[in-house]
């Protein structure tokens, strides 16, 4: 069946008697999009066959499944009302539904996703609604949405779901992947349909929107879903325009166009073949700086990423992916000079698997966030193995290195080590012009927090307002997570809290340079100078450091002079921080225009330190040291194999 054209219906000569096919147009065309749901689809089709309204046709559109879907559907094709077509590769919900619409003959269109269920009178009740309401274009039912919960109509917090809806046949078509991927069906179709009439409710629960972990909206909504889990599950190979109903809009097509479409960089005479293993987290395009330096990049990605775990195929190109299902053979084929495994706790199990299977290939482990989560999640043994058996280690801060020396005594001296923040952005996004300061126009102090306002409790913001210090809070998705905080803070400081939408990399400099200073995480350390007592706040360089540095902003943080705090140490070394013990002291510091300008000048001079490109030469030198050391170890007669434990 893999040799069929993308949209040709499968032959039914052995499963469906041609003489039973009716030539009359059905009342309802039921569209069933499906992707790798062979364990659900029989239940859905049985619920369709049990409908009290028999005057329907069903068009099953298999959107590139590689599971047992075809075999499962085949017996149902003996019913002449059911047709099946298969797309060669996954092309998205909109494409699958439009293929169904192109074949539909009914005057009404209904939807039955293959993981959902109709109750007996579903089609009859919805067609009756439209027959009785000539000016309506769509009728929708109530739905059971958990095993013990139902809604009489639209489910709270969600758009109308496919399984609930039946509408009149119209020329409108669904938005397809090239334009947008979203779980918000209003964006994808319902808004277009509303131009043709109103939507009416049946007020009856006649279907089930079946709850399970692989529902499409769960794969799309942060934080359990998101663009990277979506890409992995549906095997998406092209850049996306992606906007889930609870996350920020992402336009990879325009954002990475220049990077993706440029020619490959010329290989260096001594260029390395580097296999990236795991995930790339924030600012994933930073790795292009290695490719631009003449090194060949390959990708082998963790199979179950979280929303911020960037995995391939990367939308900026120039990284050759290895197949997940046969990666061991692919690694032997490409013979990389080095495996560079990274970055956060979700990648630990897969990085560990690759480490144990690739003896003889120099392996570098670069870890950022976070060891404490590995303890809680039960992946601590694999993390310890990665540090014990990797040929080289990269720590995200000197403090993190010292902390791991308390966990595995001497680990930073046993193998070559390096220190490099794992989330640094690419230099390209820093090459913009700053904007005029807001404070030059109104005389007040304006500060910014790009992301979660950690440590800025409502009472703290009220105290800032008392000093005429404004707080500009960016991130519309984050706003949703911090709604209670926003309500309390706005009540206490109504004129000094300002909410802004998310800002992506091309606009960092122009947008954030308008402010006098930016907030790092505002916390009081409790480690008392003892590295063993340090927690994640103490050891971490927040990702926003580079965002603020791009815009040349002084970085506000609490004075933790008696404690070990990574961001404090770096800011003091580079002269990029404004420190405070209390809000009155901070107000005086921020009103000292000359001092703030001096710190801003320091930040502007140190900006290259916050780009990945700046560190690539030293990183490659470290890679070469690891390769030499690993080769020397391999030549020793008592070289020990990697093994767990």
**Does the pLDDT value for residue 640 go beyond 80?**
no
Mean pLDDT confidence for 480-490: 94
pLDDT at 459 over 90: yes
pLDDT higher than 80, residue 109: yes
**How far is Cα 398 from Cα 416, in angstroms, rounded to an integer?**
14
Distance CA 644, CA 183 (A): 41
Q: What does the pLDDT average to over 633-642? A: 57
CA–CA distance, 327 with 314 (Å, rounded to integer)? 17
- The three-point CA angle 464-465-469 to 5° equals 65
The answer to whether the bond into 528 is cis (omega within 30° of 0) is no
pLDDT at 23: 55
Residue 636 confidence (pLDDT): 61
Model pLDDT, residue 477: 80
Average pLDDT over residues 451-468: 95
Query: Average pLDDT of the chain?
Result: 93
Q: What's the rounded Cα separation, in Å, for the pair 553 and 479?
A: 23
Summarised one tens digit per residue, pLDDT across range 520-569 is 999 999 999 999 999 999 999 999 999 999 999 999 999 999 999 999 99
Q: Under DSSP, is residue 441 helix (H, G, I), strand (E, B) or coil?
A: helix
2-19 pLDDT per residue, tens: 333 344 444 333 333 333
Q: pLDDT tens digit string along 152-206? A: 999 999 999 999 999 999 999 999 999 999 999 999 999 999 999 999 999 999 9
- How high is the pLDDT of residue 633? 76
* pLDDT average, residue stretch 413-424: 96
pLDDT band for position 635 (50/70/90)?
Answer: low
Residue 615: its pLDDT value, please? 98
DSSP character string of 493-524: -TTTEEEE----GGGHHHHHTTSSEEE-----
pLDDT band at 299 (very low <50, low <70, confident <90, very high): very high
Q: Which of 75, 36, 28 is nearest to 53 (CA)?
A: 28
Given this model, what pLDDT does residue 8 score? 40
pLDDT tens-digit readout, 17-38 = 333 345 579 999 999 999 999 9
- Confidence at 642, pLDDT banded by 50, 70, 90: low
Q: Is the pLDDT of residue 370 over 50?
A: yes
Q: Please report which confidence band the pLDDT of residue 65 belongs to, taking 50, 70 and 90 as the band edges.
A: very high
């Amino acid at each position: 069946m893999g040799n069929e054209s993308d949209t040709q219906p499968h032959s039914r000569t052995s499963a469906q008697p041609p003489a039973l096919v009716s030539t009359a147009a059905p009342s309802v065309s039921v569209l069933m999009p499906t992707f790798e749901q062979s364990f659900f689809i029989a239940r859905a089709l049985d619920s369709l066959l049990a409908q009290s309204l028999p005057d329907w046709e069903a068009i099953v559109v298999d959107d590139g499944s590689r599971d047992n879907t075809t075999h499962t559907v085949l017996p149902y094709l003996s019913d002449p009302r059911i047709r099946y077509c298969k797309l060669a590769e996954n092309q998205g919900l909109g494409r699958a539904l439009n293929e169904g619409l192109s074949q539909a003959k009914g005057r009404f269109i209904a939807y039955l996703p293959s993981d959902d269920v109709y109750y007996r009178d579903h089609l009859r009740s919805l067609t009756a609604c439209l027959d009785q309401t000539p000016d309506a274009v769509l009728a929708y039912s109530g739905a059971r949405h958990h095993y013990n919960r139902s809604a009489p109509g639209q489910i709270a917090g969600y758009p109308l779901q496919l399984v609930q809806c039946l509408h009149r046949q119209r020329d409108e078509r669904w938005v397809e992947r090239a334009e947008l991927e979203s779980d918000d069906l209003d964006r994808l179709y319902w808004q277009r349909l509303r131009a043709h009439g109103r939507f009416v409710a049946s007020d009856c629960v006649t279907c089930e929107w079946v709850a399970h972990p692989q529902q499409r909206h769960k794969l799309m909504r942060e934080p359990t879903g998101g663009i990277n889990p979506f890409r992995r599950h549906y095997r998406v190979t092209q850049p996306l325009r992606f906007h889930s109903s609870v996350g920020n809009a992402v336009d990879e097509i325009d954002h990475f166009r220049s990077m993706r479409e440029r020619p490959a960089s010329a290989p260096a005479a001594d260029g390395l073949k580097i296999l990236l293993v795991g995930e790339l987290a924030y600012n994933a395009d930073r790795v292009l700086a290695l490719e631009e330096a003449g090194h060949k990049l390959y990708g082998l990605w963790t199979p179950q990423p979280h929303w911020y775990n960037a995995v391939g195929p990367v939308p900026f190109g120039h990284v050759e992916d290895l197949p997940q299902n046969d990666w061991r053979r692919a690694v032997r084929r490409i013979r990389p000079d080095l495996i560079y495994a990274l970055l956060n706790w979700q990648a630990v199990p897969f990085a560990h698997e690759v480490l144990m299977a690739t003896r003889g290939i120099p392996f570098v482990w670069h870890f950022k966030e976070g060891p404490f989560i590995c303890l809680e999640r039960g992946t601590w043994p694999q993390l310890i193995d990665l540090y014990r058996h990797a040929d080289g280690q990269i720590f995200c801060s000197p403090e993190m290195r010292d902390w791991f020396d308390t966990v595995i005594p001497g680990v930073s001296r046993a193998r070559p080590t390096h220190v490099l923040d794992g989330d640094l952005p690419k230099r390209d996004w820093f090459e913009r012009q700053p904007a005029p300061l807001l404070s030059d126009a109104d005389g007040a102090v304006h500060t910014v927090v790009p992301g979660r306002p950690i440590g800025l409790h409502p009472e703290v913001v009220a105290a800032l307002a008392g000093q005429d210090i404004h707080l500009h809070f960016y991130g519309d998705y984050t706003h949703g997570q911090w709604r209670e905080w926003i309500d309390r803070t706005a009540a206490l400081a109504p004129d000094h809290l300002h909410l802004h939408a998310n800002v992506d990399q091309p606009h960092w400099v122009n947008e954030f340079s308008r402010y006098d200073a930016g907030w790092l995480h505002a916390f009081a350390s409790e480690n008392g100078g003892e590295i063993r007592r340090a927690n994640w706040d103490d050891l971490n360089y927040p990702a926003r450091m580079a965002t603020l540095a791009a815009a040349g902003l002084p970085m506000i943080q609490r004075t933790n002079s008696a404690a070990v705090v990574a961001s404090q140490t770096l800011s003091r070394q580079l002269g990029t921080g404004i420190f405070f013990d209390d809000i009155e002291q901070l107000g005086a510091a921020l009103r000292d225009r000359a001092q703030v300008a001096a710190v801003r000048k320091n930040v502007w001079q140190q900006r290259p330190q916050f780009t990945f490109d700046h560190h690539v030469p030293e990183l490659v030198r470290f890679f070469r040291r690891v390769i030499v050391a690993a080769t020397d170890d391999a030549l020793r007669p008592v070289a020990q194999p990697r093994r767990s434990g």
